[in-house]
Structure 1
């Protein structure tokens, strides 16, 4: 006899199929009966615990032959379920949707679309709120709530930064944003991965703080993870399940005049007051990186950095002199014309020093799987300059990759080397010839 379409589907407690497993997990994450949740959730929680215990004792098993099939359920908009991987995912078990300080939500149940007016906030405001938890080193917890009322896990962190009226989770945050491409990310947007088959395995969300490099391979991520809230450079989109993350922009975001925490998205000149002694902002960082790309790397010992330095002034002046400018036009402070040439890639590069010798060979240990350092990036850039960069898909970076090895191998073979002399790992002679 067919089941009526309005009758709620109750998952079997001992069925391991994806549909039943997903349904049991959904019921477990619902609110308790005393908080207005469905009574079936209590039974599902008990069934899930009993089923897990039985699996430990009996060692699991395949479903009986001829058993009824169960629906797998639709995938979440943030992407398909996370694949099995040997890489550890973020330890961020998911809490459900709750009110501030964990109080039960009131009013009608939330649906798939948000219709109520949302609090508005600027991008700068989102990042400033995110920085508070980083500065206070708010410890990670799925069960505790910080003094501002938000749950101390990754989705509670985003709820706080977006100034949402309640604590959301990775399965509901997408309702408060609009999906965007990675190329369109701006500070205050989020990168979200929700695993609908098992929300506690791999599901995570980070706040995008800005690009860290011109090739857009890494970004500043604000995230709540063990042991506490942090801010750090992160590969796009994340260390694990990277291809499963989806960008979202908060529906209540309003414009402000300056992006925070990374490369400003606009190529318009930000104004002379953004540069010079005492200046510290994302535009200074972007200027330095553009100057490095145009031949100014020798002026920087450590940077480019967030704060204006003498290295920035000297590199800017060298670029201005390369255009044939003199006097006040080459004072080392960027104006609209300097900025336009840098952001559009036009004008002449900073010339190398006459008779300059190649950089010293740093040693074989820097060019091995798992290594990440400035020498790997310098090698990659030089390979591209010499026309041996065809294996890069996103451009060279600080982490050694198979693309680096294959490009080095192409260069070695062009020297007439074969066998072990063309293994793709640069030695002193490869380095000397590449940089001469």
Structure 2
């Protein structure tokens, strides 16, 4: 028994339209290829910056709020368009394109490359990104070693205090989760 289906003109038009969209629309990869490509485009747009310029930019937020540090916030952007959290601050100092990468992206998405803590130079980053809780992730901008290399001076954007330049020992104790990274857009 043969059955003949009758299609209405609107149904045929809709089917043809959907078929043409499927053939011409950009494919969205289930593997996250588009996200990787977008990250590569952003990294390519990141201008080269000297370490001295990065540190000059980092110092801007120390007094940018009418002579006071920029306040910390994970939900707000500062007047320059960068997030007021630690990764937004590091991205601003590095002059990375907006929207700036978060702490996990700074570590994992090609913005930085791992180095040894002993290789840290001014402008490198010390990052803790391996936590399921965003409140336990952090990034600081290395400035210089304190005497004895048991601590170092770093710039950071921290909760309850905002932007500051202070001494840290992150990454110097086994198991604290902090590691050293060199930003790839630094022009050495």
The equivalent residue for 1:200 is 134
Q: 1:236 to 1:110 in 2, by over 3 A?
A: same
Aligned to 1:209: 143
RMSD: 2.4
Give per-residue Cα distances to partners, 1:8-39, cap 9 Å, x unaligned: xxxxxxxxxxxxxxxxxxxxxxxxxxxxxxxx
Q: Cα deviation per residue 1:21-65 (whole Å; 9 max; x = unaligned)?
A: xxxxxxxxxxxxxxxxxxxxxxxxxxxxxxxxxxxxxxxxxxxxx
SS in 1 for 2:35: coil
Closer, same or farther: CA 147–123 of 1 in aligned 2, 3 Å: same
- Asked if the contact 1:140/1:225 (under 8 Å) is kept, the reply is yes
Shift of 1:113: 6.8
Q: CA deviation at 1:244?
A: 1.2
2:56 aligned residue = 128
Larger relative contact order, structure 1 or 2 (CA cutoff 8 Å, min sep 6): 2
Q: Which has the higher strand share?
A: 2
5+ long unaligned stretches in structure 1: 1-107, 256-436
Q: CA deviation at 1:233?
A: 1.3
Q: State the distance in 2 between where 1:139 and 1:253 align.
A: 26
Inter-CA distance 177–112: structure 2 relative to 1 (3 Å threshold): farther
Q: Determine which of 180, 185, 188 is the counterpart of 1:252.
A: 185
SS in 2 for 1:157: helix
Deviations 1:331-386 (A, max 9, x none): xxxxxxxxxxxxxxxxxxxxxxxxxxxxxxxxxxxxxxxxxxxxxxxxxxxxxxxx
Q: Distance in 1 between matches of 2:45 and 2:96?
A: 11
Q: CA deviation at 1:221?
A: 1.2
2:134 is paired with a residue whose SS is coil
Alignment correspondent of 1:140: 72
TM-score of the two chains, using structure 1 as the length reference: 0.31
> 2:121 matched to 1:186?
yes
| Residues 127 and 118 (structure 1), Cα distance of their counterparts in 2 relative to 1, 3 Å cut | same
1:104-153 per-position Cα deviation (integer Å, ceiling 9, x unaligned): xxxx4245973625311000111111111112200000111111110000
Query: 2: CA distance between counterparts of 1:146 and 1:204?
Result: 18
Relative to structure 1, the CA distance from residue 113 to residue 228 in structure 2 (aligned partners, 3 Å threshold; closer, same or farther) is closer
Partner residue in 1 for 2:166? 232
- 8 Å CA contact 1:121, 1:254 repeated in 2: yes
Cα distance in 1 between the residues matched to 2:105 and 2:143? 22
SS for the counterpart of 2:162 is: coil
2:96 paired with 1:164: yes
Q: Which has the larger radius of gyration?
A: 1
Within-5 A mapping of 1:335-414: none
Q: Classify the secondary structure of the residue corresponding to 2:152.
A: strand
Residues 167-186 of structure 1 show CA distances to partners (whole Å, capped at 9, x for unaligned) of 11111002201110000000
Partner Cα distance (2:174, 2:134) in 1? 14
